Amino acid sequence: MADDQARNLWRAGVSEYLPVEYNKYTADLKTAKDDIAKEADRFVLFRDYKPYIQRFKDILVLGNEILVKVEIEKAKKADSLSEQISSFKTIISNLQKFTLKINEGRLARADLMKADLLLNEVELRYKKGEYAAAEAKIDDLSMYLKSAEDSLSPIIGRYSDRSQVEKWQKWAEDTVAESREKGIIVIVVNKSKRTLSIYRDGELMKKYSVGIGRNGSFDKIHAGDNATPEGKYKITKKLPASRYYKALLINYPSDQDRKQFILAKKKGLVPNKAGIGGLIEIHGGGSDTMTFGCISMENRQMDEIYNMVKVGTPVTIVGAVHLENSISSALGGK
């Protein structure tokens, strides 16, 4: 019976959940078996098995107690794993949805896919009751998830930064105020909303969907970064026929952009041969495209604004105008 119990304890994974208790149990059992073997070697008339009966009974009681304990431990582990699986599912799902909202989402998708595959394995092991193996996979899963979050956190950080958003908000408000005061048309581009708004006399006239740079959620620092610049600009040239239908060239880089570029260069954030870049336009070609940093629109909408604006029309490009924007609130369910 004791042998059977020992086998059951081993199969229940006691050595893994309660190693100290299991070692004591196996040591006790071994000693008792060794002693009973010695007893059996004695002359038949001197043999006395009575003390062993009690010893084996005690071992069986200990074994049963350990089995109960291990079942409790397993249940706890199962609950904890179930919670973790549910939590990871939510995190992965939210991150996956978020990555579809920004052009930079691709940077996190591969890691998210790996994390998702591992979560699948964790669930399978959990269902089979292989809790230790499931937990081991969770460590790997967390690593990929962290890597995915690290890819996205600089973006989320910018759009959740109160002072940054307030700065953008002020630029947008100042631009609309200028429109009201001077009775002119102004353009405000909101990158998180992917919209281009036209104001006349401070009133919203039209709003269009736009595409931005491949890394458009970031502020443009240098040539080739595929980021869309943020700042207060003006239209410097109207191009009736450009590579991307009609285009409105803006005065990027501004003085502010130049200062920012020099600072970034000092900090080593700019590749050696990279210049500050230029030729940032609002152009046609479709609002769904990912540009090298320009703002793209549908051609028929480009026709509309091309006729409304003139050289000198203010163009203000901001990331967001509310702290609660589509990027900062994207992981709200996390």
Partner 1 sequence: MRYLILSMMVVFMFVGCSSQPTTEMNDAKAAVDAVIAEGAEKYAQVDAQKLNDDLAAAMAEITTQEGKMMKNYSKAKEALVKVKADADTLKAGLPAKKEEAKQSAITSQTDAKTAIDDAKALLAKAPKGKGSKADIEAMKADLKGLDESLPEVQKLIDTEDYSAAIEKANAIKEKAAGVSDQINQAMEKVGAKAEVKK
List residues near partner 1 by CB under 8 A: 1, 3-4, 7, 99-100, 103, 105-114, 116-117, 120-121, 124, 211, 286, 288-290
Helix, strand or coil, per DSSP, at residue 312:
coil
Q: Smallest distance from the beta carbon of 140 to partner 1, in angstroms?
A: 9
Dihedral over Cα of 117, 118, 119, 121: its sign: positive
Give whichever of 148 and 276 is closer to partner 1, judged by the CB atom.
148
The one-letter amino acid at 223: A
Beta bridge partners of 232: 316
Give whichever of 99 and 190 is closer to partner 1, judged by the CB atom.
99
Structure tokens at 226: 């595929």
Give whichever of 92 and 223 is closer to partner 1, judged by the CB atom.
92
Q: Smallest distance from the beta carbon of 107 to partner 1, in angstroms?
A: 8
- Rounded to an integer, what distance in angstroms lies between the CA atom of residue 204 and that of residue 307? 17
- Rounded to an integer, what distance in angstroms lies between the CA atom of residue 97 and that of residue 91? 10
Tokens 């269902």 belong to 127
Give whichever of 107 and 185 is closer to partner 1, judged by the CB atom.
107
Q: Smallest distance from the beta carbon of 324 to partner 1, in angstroms?
A: 23
Q: Smallest distance from the beta carbon of 290 to partner 1, in angstroms?
A: 5
Tokens 């990331």 belong to 319
- Rounded to an integer, what distance in angstroms lies between the CA atom of residue 264 and that of residue 251? 20
Tokens 């203010």 belong to 314
Give whichever of 20 and 44 is closer to partner 1, judged by the CB atom.
44
Angle between helices 50-99 and 106-128 (to 10 degrees): 150
Give whichever of 114 and 238 is closer to partner 1, judged by the CB atom.
114
The strand ranges marked E within 143-288 are 185-190, 195-200, 203-209, 231-242, 245-250, 281-283
Q: Smallest distance from the beta carbon of 304 to partner 1, in angstroms?
A: 19
Of the candidates 208, 223, 200, the residue with the CA atom closest to the CA atom of residue 277: 223
**Contact (CB, 8 A) for 191 and 217:** yes
Give whichever of 93 and 289 is closer to partner 1, judged by the CB atom.
289
Give 32's contacts (C-beta < 8 A, 6+ positions apart).
Answer: 2, 52, 55, 56, 59
Q: Smallest distance from the beta carbon of 145 to partner 1, in angstroms?
A: 12
Q: Smallest distance from the beta carbon of 268 to partner 1, in angstroms?
A: 28
Q: Smallest distance from the beta carbon of 154 to partner 1, in angstroms?
A: 17
Give whichever of 245 and 261 is closer to partner 1, judged by the CB atom.
245
